[in-house]
Structure 1
Amino acid sequence: MAPIFWITGPPAAGKSTLCAALLARYERAILIPVDDLRLWVVSGISESVPWTDETERQFQVAERATCAVARTYHEAGFAVAIDHCRNMSRLEAVISQELAGLPVTRVCLMPELEENLRRSHTRTNKSFDPHMLDDTIHYTNTHYREDIPPGWQVIDNTGLSVDETIRLIAPG
């Protein structure tokens, strides 16, 4: 049975890089960044800054849609990786409701704060100044550690290669 990986963590924790490398191990695989589904909204999108009730509603819609896409591809034999920055209690609720009975491996990448900021400041894949994420990184890097539901693997990937991180998630 093909796996489903849900990878979370602060911005610039290495989620996208890890997902791509992890999925390269499978013959058929799909990467679903929740932010990409949010970009499908062509009118009325609510941005995450400032966070509003409408932002929360739209994130929840995107999360449920992500699960529907993940389930569809999983049933077709694809390995799935979901990339999403969100607190683990919320994600656990989504996974329990929308992906019940499926083999979901839950991972939170949590590099040390200084490493997390360094990675953010040196990224080139964003169309905005990455320093804009500093407050979010400070918040998530601190508070995610206080909110870890059972079943989540938290990995400090500071100083780890992508392959070393993969071996912690999916040995063999």
Structure 2
Amino acid sequence: MTMIRIYSGPPGAGKSTLARQWAASRPRGLCIPVDDLRLWVVGGIADTLPEWTDETTRQFALAEDAAALVAKNYAAAGFDVAIDHCRMPENIDAMVERAFAGVTVEKIAVLPPLDVVLQRNRERTNKDFDPLLLEPIIKVVHAAYAAADLSSWTLEPNP
């Protein structure tokens, strides 16, 4: 039986690393970074910086639904699938309900201590913008995960 996992948490938490490692450890593994799907938009992309808009929300939902379709197709073909996505926990729950009805999905909350996440973000070299711009977002998303009811999630506190 194949597995679909969604790795989520604040920027810099280690989601991408964990998702790729897990997928690579499977006999057939696929990793879907939702941000990559969002970047398929080459005209009119609504990004999270400098501000979140209704269009940003719409484009995130489109990318989430596309990731779900790809995940379900690959899972049906015998692949285990990791989805790497930074979203608030309630948005991940809504995505699973909306796009994965009838499909078992394991939600992984990647949540190291805030100081660790902030330090990792400061040391990033893989962004085409100043990663310090993410610090306010990191603090908000980290607080949301720390306060959320994650009883239906698997917690990865220290990747």
Is residue 92–residue 149 contact of structure 1 (8 Å, CA) maintained in 2? no
Is residue 87–residue 147 contact of structure 1 (8 Å, CA) maintained in 2? no
Aligned-pair CA distance for 1:35: 0.5
Is residue 24–residue 30 contact of structure 2 (8 Å, CA) maintained in 1? no
Q: Distance in 2 between matches of 1:129 and 1:51?
A: 18
In structure 2, the partner of 1:13 is 13
Q: Distance in 1 between matches of 2:149 and 2:68?
A: 21
Is residue 5–residue 107 contact of structure 2 (8 Å, CA) maintained in 1? yes
In structure 1, the partner of 2:67 is 66
In structure 2, the partner of 1:24 is 24
In structure 2, the partner of 1:100 is 101
Q: Distance in 2 between matches of 1:28 and 1:61?
A: 26
1:154 aligns with 2:148: no
Aligned-pair CA distance for 1:132: 1.1
Q: Distance in 1 between matches of 2:23 and 2:122?
A: 26
**Structure 1 runs of 4+ off > 4 angstroms?**
none
Aligned-pair CA distance for 1:155: 2.4
SS in 2 for 1:144: helix
TM-score, normalised to structure 1, is: 0.87
Aligned-pair CA distance for 1:149: 4.6
Gapped regions of structure 1 (runs ≥ 5): 161-172
1:78 aligns with 2:79: yes
In structure 2, the partner of 1:34 is 34
Is residue 89–residue 149 contact of structure 1 (8 Å, CA) maintained in 2? no
Q: CA-to-partner distance for each residue in 1:121-156, whole Å, 9 max, x for gaps?
A: 112211221111111111111122222354112221
SS in 1 for 2:25: coil
Q: Distance in 1 between matches of 2:151 and 2:142?
A: 19
Aligned-pair CA distance for 1:103: 2.6
Q: Distance in 1 between matches of 2:98 and 2:142?
A: 26
Q: Distance in 2 between matches of 1:42 and 1:148?
A: 36
SS in 1 for 2:72: helix
Superposition RMSD on alpha carbons, in Å?
Answer: 1.2
Question: Which amino acid in the other structure matches residue 75 of structure 1?
Answer: A
**Count of residue pairs the alignment pairs up:** 158
Q: Percent identity?
A: 44
Q: CA-to-partner distance for each residue in 1:89-113, whole Å, 9 max, x for gaps?
A: 1111111221122231111111111
Q: Distance in 2 between matches of 1:8 and 1:91?
A: 8
In structure 2, the partner of 1:48 is 48
TM-score, normalised to structure 2, is: 0.94
Question: Which amino acid in the other structure matches residue 31 of structure 2?
Answer: L
Is residue 120–residue 130 contact of structure 1 (8 Å, CA) maintained in 2? yes
Q: CA-to-partner distance for each residue in 1:2-40, whole Å, 9 max, x for gaps?
A: 111100000010011101111121121111011000000
Gapped regions of structure 2 (runs ≥ 5): none
SS in 2 for 1:103: coil
